[in-house]
Amino acid sequence: MTTHTVCIHDHQSGRTVRLQIASDQYVLMAAEAQAVTLPYSCRNGACTACAVRILEGDVHQPEAMGLSPELKAQGYALLCVSYPASDLVVETQNEDEVYELQFGRYFGQGKVQAGLPLEGD
């Protein structure tokens, strides 16, 4: 196990924190254990509330099902399921930004219609 320096620019709070996080710890939970609260929702890689853009370094995030391979390749990561693989510099995103990139294409047809009869009604 290796320990890495993780620098997080949190746009929501306007602060920057620098933490020491082991390579076998998720960044979000390790930050919380050091009294640093960051954005989150599901805590299991399925939404985009904890998404960051990686400015420097690399993460290991095999459970990040909420991010497409394309977004991972563009440098996005989900901190709730990201292990630091090197020293890191990341910045939090507007949740809607990554949500739109990840899921927007599925909702491009407009809002779901309410009140439609269910099959068998």
Nearer to ligand FES, 39 or 118 (CB): 39
- Which positions from 59 to 78 touch ligand FES by CB under 6 A, shown as an x/- string? -------x-----------x
88, 54 contact by CB (below 8 A)? yes
| Cβ-proximal residues to 78 (8 Å cutoff; 6+ apart), any chain | 45, 48, 50, 51, 52, 61, 64, 66, 67
Instruction: Assess 9 for contact with ligand FES (CB under 6 A).
Output: no
Q: Which stretch binds ligand FES (CB under 6 A): 4-12, 35-43, 97-105, 113-121?
A: 35-43
Instruction: Assess 88 for contact with ligand FES (CB under 6 A).
Output: no
Instruction: Assess 99 for contact with ligand FES (CB under 6 A).
Output: no
| Cβ-proximal residues to 46 (8 Å cutoff; 6+ apart), any chain | 65, 66
Q: Contact with ligand FES (CB under 6 A): which of 5, 40, 60, 85?
A: 40
